[in-house]
Amino acid sequence: MHNKSLSELSAALHNSEISSVELTQHYLDRINQHNGTLNAFITVTEERALEQAKAADKLLAEKKAGVLTGIPLAHKDIFCTKGVRTSCASKMLDKFIAPYDATVVEKIDQAGMVTLGKTNMDEFAMGSSNETSWYGPVKNPWDTDRVPGGSSGGSAAAMAARLAPVATGTDTGGSIRQPSSLCNLTGLKPTYGRISRYGMIAFASSLDQAGPMANSAEDAAWLMNVMSGFDEKDSTSVDRDVPDYTASLNDSLEGLTIGLPKEYFGEGLDPRVAATVEAAIKTYEKMGATLKEITLPNTGLAVPTYYVVAPAECSSNLSRMDGVRFGHRAEDPKDLMDLYTRSRGEGFGEEVKRRIMIGTYALSAGYYDAYYLKAQQCRRLISNDFQEAFKEVDVIMGPTATNPAFRFGEKTDDPVAMYLEDIYTINTNLAGLPGMSIPAGFVEGLPVGLQIIGNYFDEARLLNIGHRYQQETDWHQRIPDAFK
């Protein structure tokens, strides 16, 4: 049952071949069996899930159910869930019970889906390996000595091990796409503003975007139909009609022009990954697409730009975690300053502290113009590069990550090496563009992802391009032996 697509599960539920309670229990049993090994879930909401499943079965019996009614999913523990701990994988929010639902959670609940629990992640979404979580690292189901990627590593590991049929993630600089690449998933970061950020705990507000993590482009399209749309509670939400993302999945790729940025295939890319990605792109050529080399000349500015903008915004967003309004409170403070410093010192992990310090420095008097303002100017240059490229090509393709999954501890002592993990994904966040990673093959038993970048609100086209590739290949159907 755990190897079926969302449409297959939907058909089974609607044809009464299985009940939502039975399906939900099947996944809860798999979580109980494997989560001790993987550490993919922080919180499992077993009682709540079975109640939601019973309600879904009632709707199914009354023929009032939607396409996804009764299908379980996992939420990254960054989305507020009413009455359930929402921790952001931090000691700071370990005891925080959200008083309301995020809009994404609300929409998914209204669709009749069943929440299995909240998945592990890098603390406050800051990391590329899921090693910064206060609850411990998440292990990659393809090799439990290796990282699953981050920050949405818990959702990625849960999906790869088939502990859930679909999951939510968030992407600030690659946090859906990079773990999707390392865990053999289809992960989509939509256009900034396509999906509401209300109730999604903020890291960097101008970069954060929620999206689906799935076993296929088709499954991602089904979840996009539910997650997308305008939300008046989010001032950055875009008021634009939501298409049926499944309607164009089978469209022809004849005449598609694919841009290959020379900057994405140069120094720093594992040659084995390069060969795998190039073979995947050749498949598109056989399907009628045209390849064209392009340049994104400001790609080299992406990492330094991101690591000024994102820490500056996180410094501002996390200032509310002070032991008074939100979060961990130090015991027996001597005075207000002691309360602030000890609460934040005890509540935040090392990587979060590092980024707060960088961001506070970049925003401080005398440095704002030199760092933050200059970074925003570089951001415009990066965005302009993409718009120039899209005058010549329909989509852009390249590797999602420089390498397959790496071993635990391999990059934790070198923050810059860890930051470079996102060198191919950061640009799309800085420009606000949609980007997707799909399974493209394996290197020594470890998954490799192909990244596809589109123009604004081109998600349906990206899903179509991913789906057509998945009709020609079976990489996305591979499952780690230990979790079959």
Q: Which of 19, 20, 76, 196 is catalytic?
A: 76
Calculate the alpha carbon distances from 132 to 138, 348, 411, 439 in Å: 10, 10, 12, 26
Q: Helix, strand, or coil here: 363?
A: helix
Q: How many residues does this entry show for the chain?
A: 484
Q: Strand 257-261 and strand 290-294: pairing?
A: parallel
Residue 203, amino acid: F
Q: Does the annotation mark 76 as catalytic?
A: yes
One-letter amino acid identity for 292?
A: K
- The token duo for 3 is 């190897």
Strands 395-399 vs 257-261: parallel, antiparallel or unpaired:
parallel
Query: What is the token pair recorded at 473?
Result: 């290949």
Of 151, 180, 196, 343, the catalytic one is 151
**Residue ranges in 302-373 assigned as alpha helix (H):** 302-317, 336-347, 350-363
CA 460 to chain centre: 18
* Token output for 386: 């993409």
CA separation (Å) from 408 to 129, 133, 411?
8, 13, 8
The DSSP annotation for 445-458 comes to TEEEEEEEE-STT-
Closest CA to 235 of 282, 197, 261: 197
Question: For residues 177 and 435, is the Cβ–Cβ distance under 8 A?
Answer: yes
Q: Determine the Cα–Cα distance for residues 235 and 82; give it in Å rounded to an integer.
A: 22
Asked if residue 330 lies in contact with residue 93, where contact means CB atoms within 8 angstroms, the answer is no
CA distances, 34 to each of 49, 140, 246, 311 (Å): 18, 12, 32, 35
Burial of 171 (0-12, 13-18, 19+ CB in 10 A): buried
Of 384, 397, 370, which is closest to residue 281 (Cα–Cα)? 397
217-227 vs 103-110: helix crossing angle, rounded to 10 = 100
Q: Which of 175, 180, 237, 437 is catalytic?
A: 175
Let me know if 262 is a catalytic residue.
no
Distance, CA of 91 to CA of 68 (rounded, Å): 34
d(CA 468, CA 477): 14
Task: Check if the beta carbon of residue 40 is closer than 8 Å to that of residue 157.
Answer: yes
Which residues are designated catalytic?
76, 151, 175
